Amino acid sequence: MDKLTKILIVDDSPSQVRMIHDLLEREGYIPVSVSDPLRIEEAVANERPSVILLDVVMPGRNGFQVCRELKTNAQFSGIPVILVTSKDSASDRYWGQQQGADGYVTKPFTREELLRAVRRFA
């Protein structure tokens, strides 16, 4: 793993962001976060993350919409998106895949589940 791998955390829950941030930082990643789903493209353009961890249930714009928009934007389409969500039905997973998600981790997740997903792409 490249010790300078930047991971963008997108979640409207400060406690989730802090927990994921701390977990990634301990593993040597550079975590950055954004809590406003309307500012994701700006954050991606500014931070240039290697991987995006994206919550689904957010106000204003859900993670499925964000994923679809990122994946249809030539500037961002190559960045792996891992949905990190409490939505754990087979239809949710299928819908996430249809929106272009590269990975899917359900909350609550273990440290190893999240790191395994990140390591696939980082």
Q: What is the pLDDT of residues 11-32, one digit of tens each?
A: 999 999 999 999 999 999 999 9
In the prediction, which pLDDT does 1 show? 45
Separation of alpha carbons 22 and 17, rounded Å = 8
Domain at 109, CATH number: 3.40.50.2300
In a domain, 101, yes or no: yes
pLDDT digit string (tens) for 52-75? Answer: 999 999 999 999 999 999 999 999
Q: How many domains is the chain partitioned into structurally?
A: 1
**Residue 58 lies in domain:** 6-121
Q: How far apart, in whole angstroms, are the C-alpha atoms of residue 50 and residue 80? A: 7
Q: Which pTM value belongs to this model?
A: 0.95
Beta-sheet strands, E only, within the chain: 6-10, 30-34, 51-54, 81-85, 103-106
